[in-house]
Chain A
Amino acid sequence: MKAAKLLAERTGQSANWARALSNRMGIRAQRRIERVVLYLVLAAVGAIFFLPFYWVITASIKTSAELNRMPPTWWPHTLTLEHYPQALNPDFGRYFLNSFIYATATTVIVAVTSTLLGFILSKFSSKFGEIFFLAIIASMAVPFDLYVVPLFMLLLRIQKATTVPMLNTYWGMVFPWLVYPFGTFLMRQAMLSIPNELLDAARIDGASTLRTFWQIVLPLVRPNVAALCIFVFIWRYDEILWPLVVASESKMYPISVGLVEYVGEYFVEYGQFTAASVVAILPIFVIYVLLQRYIIRGIALTGMKG
């Protein structure tokens, strides 16, 4: 109120005008304080969320002597990259290669079968298709980890019956993803909204079913396919249980299994295994930075979760 009086005196305006103005400025000041508090809280929460990353990344560039100090140092006193060459031994290169082969092959197969099957299920009505779709939805209720024991037995049986090796092969790892119920479901839902007239027009122009699919349907659902591919890749890169079961030879380990074996071996060498985990995170981090918009939108729209 003192401020309002002063304001009225100085400007020569009415007392009411001054009071209203100073009230408004009060609200504005309050809003500003609220905003500052909000940002401070967010920054604090963000710091807590980043702490694990900070801790592991700094640990990977501390010297071994510093890592064994107790209590630990909060920031590295001497920087060193000595742990990285040790963590990036040839074995690790092989693990990376295996992970990329497994994740990429699965992504390609899932993309092809999910889009094609989604197209047929959404645009060609039949009783068989309806029953099939119901079965697909029902199977989505069963988490993949539950299939591990019987799928392992299936691989064994195929191997015995056909003498084609299945265990310790990429093919054996990719095998369960030949048909991916969740991907099929997503693609079918995305394609439902494509107008039938568009497909009829293509057919009248003499385009075959596959050509219609390739040239008309696929371009229309490209963002959905992209989101599906990103997630399948990220999830399969991260997978551990199934590769653990299929790959018993270390030359077939993906990075997830390799990292655990590595940590088990060198657990006391903190520098080496923190460096190894930083390296394992890096590819996914790059993908995330480049494609974060698709990833976050994809989650928000579909609630995807591996």
Chain B
Amino acid sequence: MEDQSFFPKDKTAVIVLLIAAAFFALVRLYPICDALVLSLQHKVGAQQHWVGLENFRALFKDSIFLKSVWNSFRYTAMAVPGVVTVGLILAMLVNSVKNTLWRGAFTTSFFLAYVVPLVAVAVMWRYMYLPSRMGLFNALLGLIGWGPIRWLDSPKTALLSLAIVRVWKYSGYAMVLFLAGLQAIPETFYEAAMIDGASRWQRFRHITLPLLAPTTLFVMMVSILSAFMMFTEVYVMTGGMVSGADVRGGPQYSTTTMVFNIYTTAFEHFKIGYASAMTVILLILMVIASVIQFKYLRPTWEY
């Protein structure tokens, strides 16, 4: 349309657009601008004054903040490869089931963990991670004479324990996306390869993997963004343990992620300005991630 007007001609449409735009400005645009403004202020409780970039300067010297950034990256690096790999394996397994009834049953079962509320999942896993032999995992390890591992109670294993929960919960989600991707690959490709005598591995390596690349990238991107924003698991699974009176995000800040740090800074220490500065940094990271996704990670070819 060349002669497109600024507003639609329909009156109802104009009214809907204006009301929606006002709401959108209020709940999405204004808060972001406000975060930028607040990040330049010292705001603790009723005190409030401009400090310029002081918050950001302080952030780069704040060892807990730096640790939280490191933890978010570490957690993402531990969880995402697991989610993608297990999801792909599940999808390959389920996809080789030809009986539709069984196939549906397996899909439904593996997907269940994704639908179940994360808070309840975290509670369940906290119980299974009990540091004594009473916990499921330590009881299982006990059967082969290993352990007990102190899972959530040790700064060495705590973050990894949280990453394992994510692999369990989200690989079903990855599986469903991979299944859709697998079903889009024409059967004739495999038939042709089989006539040429390609082995199972070669078929996987040279047909499935490359043709699944767009799906894989999508699954990876979504998983990275969601893992990087991890909060619930830390909030539910750490702190107030029976053994040590450790605080949430511990032990020794080993599970303090960026979002969790923002939450405690803003709503437990009431440093709104400082928390806003953290929010801005996380926002910048997110924008960089979406630019990368938009520019480089889009499939450039189709089949």
B12 touches A209 (CB 8 A): yes
Whether A274 contacts B127 in the complex (CB less than 8 A), given A127-B5, A209-B12, comes out as yes
B93 touches A71 (CB 8 A): no
Which B residues lie within 8 Å of A237 (CB)?
117
B199 at the interface (CB under 8 A from A): no
Task: Give min CB distance, B245 to chain A, whole Å.
Answer: 12
B117 touches A260 (CB 8 A): no
B8 touches A181 (CB 8 A): no
Whether A241 contacts B263 in the complex (CB less than 8 A), given A55-B136, A127-B6, comes out as yes
**Cβ-neighbour of A153 out of B23, B34, B172, B225 (below 8 A):** B34
A277 touches B123 (CB 8 A): yes
How would residues 109 to 129 of chain B score, 1 for a CB under 8 Å from any chain A CB and 0 otherwise?
A: 111110111111101111110
B218 at the interface (CB under 8 A from A): yes
A219 at the interface (CB under 8 A from B): no
**Cβ-neighbour of B35 out of A139, A141, A145, A149 (below 8 A):** A149
B8 touches A124 (CB 8 A): yes
B27 touches A151 (CB 8 A): yes
A49 touches B110 (CB 8 A): yes
Stretch from B13-21, B57-65, B70-78 forming part of the interface with A: B13-21
A240 touches B179 (CB 8 A): no
A267 touches B229 (CB 8 A): no
Interface residues of A in 244-296 (CB under 8 A from B): 244-245, 255-256, 259-260, 263-264, 267-268, 270, 273-274, 276-277, 280-281, 284-285, 288, 292, 295-296
Q: Which B-chain residue is minimally distant from A231 (CB atoms)?
A: B115
A25 at the interface (CB under 8 A from B): no
Whether A148 contacts B263 in the complex (CB less than 8 A), given A46-B109, A128-B17, A179-B28, comes out as yes
Q: Which B-chain residue is minimally distant from A279 (CB atoms)?
A: B120
Stretch from A8-16, A78-86, A298-306 forming part of the interface with B: A298-306
Task: Give min CB distance, B289 to chain A, whole Å.
Answer: 8
B38 touches A280 (CB 8 A): no
A299 touches B279 (CB 8 A): no
A101 at the interface (CB under 8 A from B): no
A260 touches B38 (CB 8 A): no
A154 at the interface (CB under 8 A from B): yes
A149 touches B97 (CB 8 A): no
**Cβ-neighbour of B279 out of A69, A149, A245, A292 (below 8 A):** A149
A68 at the interface (CB under 8 A from B): yes
Q: Which B-chain residue is minimally distant from A52 (CB atoms)?
A: B124
Chain B interface residue number, banded: 35 or more
Interface size on A, residues (CB 8 A): 89
Whether A126 contacts B8 in the complex (CB less than 8 A), given A270-B127, A277-B124, A303-B177, comes out as yes
B177 touches A299 (CB 8 A): yes
B236 at the interface (CB under 8 A from A): yes
B272 at the interface (CB under 8 A from A): yes
Complex Cα spacing A52 to B116, Å: 12
Whether A209 contacts B10 in the complex (CB less than 8 A), given A142-B283, A280-B120, comes out as yes
Q: Which B-chain residue is minimally distant from A73 (CB atoms)?
A: B139
Complex Cα spacing A117 to B102, Å: 41
B266 touches A149 (CB 8 A): yes
Task: Give min CB distance, A86 to chain B, whole Å.
Answer: 16
Q: Which A-chain residue is minimally distant from B105 (CB atoms)?
A: A46
**Cβ-neighbour of B27 out of A178, A245, A299 (below 8 A):** A178
Task: Give min CB distance, B80 to chain A, whole Å.
Answer: 13
Task: Give min CB distance, A260 to chain B, whole Å.
Answer: 5
**Cβ-neighbour of B123 out of A71, A142, A273, A285 (below 8 A):** A273
Interface residues of A in 103-158 (CB under 8 A from B): 113, 116-117, 120, 124-129, 132, 135-136, 139, 141-143, 145-154
A68 touches B168 (CB 8 A): no
Complex Cα spacing A241 to B13, Å: 35
B235 touches A260 (CB 8 A): yes
Task: Give min CB distance, B32 to chain A, whole Å.
Answer: 7
B42 at the interface (CB under 8 A from A): no
Interface residues of A in 67-97 (CB under 8 A from B): 68-72
Which A residues lie within 8 Å of B7 (CB)?
126-128
Instruction: Determine which residue in B113, B123, B235 has the highest number of CB atoms from chain A within 10 A of its CB, and name it.
Output: B123
How would residues 269 to 301 of chain B score, 1 for a CB under 8 Å from any chain A CB and 0 otherwise?
A: 000100110010011001101100000000000
How would residues 25 to 41 of chain B score, 1 for a CB under 8 Å from any chain A CB and 0 otherwise?
A: 01111111011001000
Whether A38 contacts B173 in the complex (CB less than 8 A), given A51-B136, A281-B120, comes out as no
B108 at the interface (CB under 8 A from A): yes
Instruction: Determine which residue in A39, A45, A52, A152 has the highest number of CB atoms from chain B within 10 A of its CB, and name it.
Output: A52
Complex Cα spacing A302 to B34, Å: 32
B109 touches A50 (CB 8 A): yes
Complex Cα spacing A139 to B128, Å: 38
Which B residues lie within 8 Å of A177 (CB)?
27
B90 at the interface (CB under 8 A from A): yes
B108 touches A296 (CB 8 A): yes
**Cβ-neighbour of B93 out of A41, A146, A274 (below 8 A):** A41
Q: List 30 A-B contacts (CB under 8 A).
A: A42-B93, A49-B172, A51-B136, A69-B134, A71-B133, A71-B142, A72-B139, A116-B20, A120-B20, A124-B9, A126-B6, A127-B5, A129-B17, A132-B20, A148-B266, A150-B31, A150-B35, A150-B279, A178-B27, A209-B10, A237-B117, A238-B117, A240-B119, A244-B267, A245-B263, A260-B235, A263-B236, A267-B242, A296-B107, A299-B176
* A268-B242, A281-B117 known, 8 other contacts, Cβ within 8 Å: A55-B124, A72-B136, A146-B286, A147-B27, A147-B31, A150-B34, A259-B123, A301-B180
